[in-house]
């Protein structure tokens, strides 16, 4: 019997792979491997670039624009007061101290100092922090009958500022000749501002101390 003829031209599945074919296949595999490596490298680079954007500190700093300066802020207005309370609060870009006063808003002197010196006695009063602010409120802590209205339980810690970004300590220095004073320790000599608010029968002296420059 005659055997059946198999034509390589019409049945490619039986075609033998030659040396040239193997070279072509090897080149294609090498090219695909290099492309995959480049893709993985690009993804890793994108992840590394995106990571710093999630850092909260950078985003918070970008939101805070001050322009307040750190020079003394002064208003000469004198009032009978009296001073009734001191409060503190945290905000995104600054820490706030609020002095409550009965009646009209008082004048003030708020400034960075080298040392906190208590008026009357001349005593140097230490406070925690890298910089010091002295706050003088032009209102007494006692009423017209000489009765004390404001007296913190712990003068060394007139208000609790634990965990605050700028504030480190607030000390009550007392009243002297119709004015009241606080010594404030802060993290650093950052900008601050002073504002006054008045409503029916009461007023507030507000001191905002920036977290950064």
Q: 128: closest CA among 139, 116, 145?
A: 116
Give residue 78's pLDDT.
96
Q: What is the mean pLDDT of residues 6-18?
A: 41
Residue 44 · residue 101 · CB < 8 Å: no
**Residue 115 phi, psi dihedral angles, 5° rounding:** -140, 145
Query: 151 CB contacts (<8 Å, ≥6 apart)?
Result: 141, 172
What's the predicted TM-score (pTM) here? Answer: 0.72
* Bridge partners, 95 (sequence order): 90, 209
Q: How confident is the model at residue 120 (pLDDT cuts 50, 70, 90)?
A: confident
139-193 residue pLDDT tens: 999 999 999 999 999 999 999 999 999 999 999 999 999 999 999 999 999 999 9
For 71-88, the pLDDT digits (tens) are: 999 999 999 999 999 999
Q: Which domains does the chain have, with CATH numbers?
A: 67-210 (2.60.40.3500)
């Amino acid at each position: 019997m005659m055997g059946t003829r198999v034509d390589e031209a019409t049945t490619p599945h039986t075609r033998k792979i030659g040396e040239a074919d193997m070279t072509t296949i090897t080149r294609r595999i090498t090219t695909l491997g290099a492309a995959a490596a480049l893709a993985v490298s690009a993804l890793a680079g994108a992840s590394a670039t995106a990571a710093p954007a999630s850092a909260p500190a950078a985003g918070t700093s970008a939101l805070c624009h001050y322009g307040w300066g750190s020079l003394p802020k002064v208003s000469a207005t004198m009032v009978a007061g009296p001073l009734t309370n001191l409060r503190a609060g945290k905000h995104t870009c600054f820490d706030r101290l609020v002095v409550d006063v009965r009646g009209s808003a008082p004048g003030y002197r708020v400034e960075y100092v080298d040392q906190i010196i208590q008026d009357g006695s001349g005593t140097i009063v230490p406070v925690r922090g890298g910089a010091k602010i002295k706050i003088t409120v032009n209102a007494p802590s006692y009423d017209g009958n000489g009765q004390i209205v404001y007296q913190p339980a712990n003068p060394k810690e007139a208000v609790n500022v634990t965990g605050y970004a700028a504030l480190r300590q607030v000390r009550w220095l007392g009243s002297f000749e119709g004015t009241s004073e606080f010594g404030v320790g802060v993290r650093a000599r950052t900008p601050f501002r002073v504002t006054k608010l008045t409503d029916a029968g009461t007023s507030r002296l507000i001191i905002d101390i920036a977290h950064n420059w």
